[in-house]
Amino acid sequence: MLSKDKIKMIKGRKAQTADGLTWLVATLIIIVILIVFVSITNLLVETKDIERFVKGVFSSSDAEEVSKIDVKTTLAIGKNSNNQDAIERWVKNEP
């Protein structure tokens, strides 16, 4: 038969274990949140390379559409369209 003091001590240990578990879970949550934030930061740092970021966001066809240089070719073809196919191939750097 356990004495009253021993029973109190055992109950106190159980309370300490529960308390420790709470802190452990809290620590894990804090670490996970930090990892998420650090990962987001690293992703944001990648966007500082504008060229790669733009290529990643817009497809190459979109980039071609907004090419200011292509307008020059279109205007010139409007003035003289001889050899148009050869010109367009050269402009697109096709063989």
Q: Which of 42, 57, 60, 61 binds another protein (CB under 8 A)?
A: 42
Per-residue HEC secondary structure of 21-46 comes to HHHHHHHHHHHHHHHHHHHHHHHHHH
25 touches another protein (CB under 8 A): no
Q: Using CA atoms, how far apart are residues 39 and 64, in angstroms rounded to an integer?
A: 32
Q: Which of 41, 57, 60, 61 binds another protein (CB under 8 A)?
A: 41
Q: With respect to another protein, which residue has the nearer C-beta, 49 or 59? A: 49
Classify residue 92 by its DSSP letter.
Answer: T
38 touches another protein (CB under 8 A): yes
Q: Using CA atoms, how far apart are residues 30 and 32, in angstroms rounded to an integer?
A: 6
Q: Which of 2, 18, 45, 66 binds another protein (CB under 8 A)?
A: 45
32 touches another protein (CB under 8 A): no
Closest CA to 84 of 95, 94, 71, 73: 73
Is 91 within 8 Å of 73 (Cβ atoms)? yes
Binding site for another protein (CB under 8 A): 23, 27, 30-31, 34, 37-38, 41-42, 44-45, 48-51, 68-70, 72-73, 75-80, 82-83, 86-87, 90-93
